[in-house]
Amino acid sequence: MQSPLLVTITFSHYCEKARWTLDHAGISYRESGHLPAFHMLAVRRAGGHRSVPALITDEGALNDSTDIARWADRKAPTAHLYGKTDAERREIEALEDHFDENLGPHTRRWMYFYMLPDTGLIMRLSGRQNVPALEKRLLPYFFPVVRPTMRKAMRITPDGAERSLRKIEAMFAEVGKKVEDGRPFLVGDTLTMADITFASLAAVVLAPPEYGAPLCPLDELPREPASHMRAWQDSAAGKFAARMFRDCRQARA
């Protein structure tokens, strides 16, 4: 029986959430990494739908990071992805949904607002990814078509980026207040999906070195986003996420 196949956009934070979940649960898998737009054909060919992360298992395709986490929890209950008690599970599930809905879309939109206008930046980032060489060669021709589609799909506008900035600030303040008592994890005494979800979805505006794929270095970004990102790195929530990556993100062999 083959290991499950995880189809990803390599630098996607929801894909990092799925990778980290499977790694922490000790579940062996193969990753098929792709660039945006190219991923759709790869997912369809593998047996999933259009979106990533997609985990293709003997039981069928899972096309959502939370569905992947619930599947991993069933396969590896001793990893305690959702805590050790019913009360912890309820709190963790609520936080996971909260971060999925109110953090992930906003860190993604805010970063793309600054990245998409800079074709050179996109090409450099894409060139560092572990994806098929053909995708890298074709990207310069496809990107002028893909860029407006991405802007429309994610509502990437100046007003949208400003709303996302406020959402990110609010979420970092919320998590910072939660961890100000010195707790090692958001819920309970071990790493759970609450920690994995927050750290993964915040990572694209923090650029931790342990992330599962190359991200944009701050010194390659425009001054305004780099300034915000340095401030978030220095915040209580940013330091918490950095510690989760540093101490708990085990690299897959």
Domain 86-248 has CATH 1.20.1050: yes
Q: For residue 161, what pLDDT is reported?
A: 98
- Cα–Cα dist 93/188, whole Å: 13
- Cα–Cα dist 94/87, whole Å: 11
- Looking at domain 5-79, its CATH class is alpha beta
Q: Domain ranges in the chain?
A: 5-79, 86-248
C-beta separation of 19 from 6 below 8 A: yes
Q: What is the pLDDT of residues 91-145, one digit of tens each?
A: 999 999 999 999 999 999 999 999 999 999 999 999 999 999 999 999 999 999 9
Nearest Cα residue to 221 out of 56, 100, 110 = 110
Q: What is the pLDDT of residues 152-206, one digit of tens each?
A: 999 999 999 999 999 999 999 999 999 999 999 999 999 999 999 999 999 999 9
Q: How confident is the model at residue 251 (pLDDT cuts 50, 70, 90)?
A: low
Q: For residue 170, what pLDDT is reported?
A: 98
> What are the distances in angstroms from CA 53 to CA 39, 161, 212, 216, 217?
10, 24, 13, 20, 24
Encoded amino acid at 20, one letter: W
Q: What is the pTM of this model?
A: 0.96
